[in-house]
Every structure is written in structure tokens, then in C-alpha cells.
Amino acid sequence: MTEFANTLRSWRRARRFSQLDLALEAGVSARHISFLETGRARPSADMIGRLSEALHLPMDARNQMLTRAGFAARFKERAWDDAAMAPMRKAVGHMLDGHAPYPGLAVDALWTVLRMNPPAAAMFGPLGVAEGGSLLDLMVSDHLPVLVENWPEVAHHTARRLRLESAAQGGIKRLDAVADALSRMPAPRAGSAGPVVPTIYRWGDQRLSLFSTIAQFGTPEDLLLDELRIELFFPMDSETDMALRAMAQG
């Protein structure tokens, strides 16, 4: 059995598709899928594209499918400071700077901070996180259980998010490890759930209750952009709104 055959079978199972399911999605016969998974047939680059679309594969997995079938990788991974990324950096900066006085940041697939606005720097800086730092390291540090009033609830929701992100990428050990660590936190208290789960920070007498939204690039052709997420934080109440505005003024 070829490397491509093993990879195709692994992704099909990860997506919980039968061979017939995949065949129907890709517009081929189940017999052909069987032949591809046993190595009796070799795929064309076009067929790999159709299978990748049917399986909703991330770009790095599509590259892997291509290279394991003997083709060149299609998608590049540029550095964040690459000249070709200048328009994207400008767009991210525009979103984050325009979001002030509320915090906002951009992270990659492993939650490394690529860019943050001044309110985010003011919030995360005292916790040891700056641009280039890791939010995953922060999650498993001793800081958040002390500072986040509803940490058990936030930890369990974050673990769920990490597992979903890992599964979408075919399994990322670092995300799974942090998710496992967060899942070991005490179970959150039962109660009536609101529309979102805010993260409630406490610094002395100051209380900040925040929820977030996530934005991504709509038509990426680069591995970094495919995985980059822009997270914008919003106040959950008027007290937090006023506190963030006061912090921005001085």
C-alpha cells in the first residue's frame, strides 16, 4: 500500500466517511475509491483536488496528499513578514487598530500571537504574552486559574475549541495536549447558560467580562493565511466597556 493510499484512508476515516460516502461527494465510483486506498490505482492531481474538496482538507493536508502521490505541493507557506504578505498585514492591522479600545489579536494554528493591538498588549502583557508569544503556554500556566473568575467554565469550553481545531487539521499533538490539560480542571458549576461564555478577569478591584469573535481570510492560497485567526474581544457589560475606555485614555 502506498503512502498516498494510507493518507487517503486516514482522512476518510477521520471525517467519518464510508468509501461510498466519499465516492458520492467526489463524483467517482466507490470501486475507484477502493482501488485508490489499496494502491491498485494511482490518482491524478485533479482527482486529489476533488477528494480534498470532498473531505474538506486543510491546505497542508492537501499538499501532503499531492506529495505522497508524487506531485509537487500546491500551496506555499510564507513568513508573516514576507513582502507578499504586506497587504494582509495591513488588513489585519486595520482591523485590530480600529477595534481599540477593545483588545484584539491575530494568532496562527498553534496560537502564537502574530499581532496584537495596544489594548490586548495591556491585557496580556502582565501575563507574559507579547507578539511572538504563545497563548497555549498561557493556558497551562498558573496565571489564569487565579485571574479568571469563571476559569473552570472557560477552560472546558477552550478545551472543546482546541479539540475541534485539532480534528479539522487531522490531529495536532500540541492542541490535544493542552485540551487534555484543560479538561482536567474541575467541572464548571451547573447553571443557566447565557448566549456566550465570557471570560471574566479580575485584577484587584477591577473586573473585566469579555467575549470574542473570530475572523479568517476568505480566499487564502497560503498555509499561514489558511490557519490565521483574528480574535476580537468585546465587553460583556457596561462596566467592562467603561474600564477598557479608561485604560485606553491613560
Element at 115 (helix H, strand E):
strand 113-116
**Domain 3-68 of CATH type 3.40.50.150:** no
Query: Residue 183 in contact with residue 156, Cβ under 8 Å?
Result: yes
Query: Domain-by-domain residue ranges, the chain?
Result: 3-68, 83-249
0.85 cut: is pTM over it?
yes
User: Strand order in 199-203's β-sheet?
Assistant: 113-116, 104-107, 229-235, 206-215, 199-203
Q: Is the pLDDT of residue 1 over 70?
A: no
CATH 1.20.1410 fits 83-249, yes or no: no
Please report which confidence band the pLDDT of residue 194 belongs to, taking 50, 70 and 90 as the band edges: confident
pLDDT tens per residue, range 146-176: 999 999 999 999 999 999 999 988 889 999 9
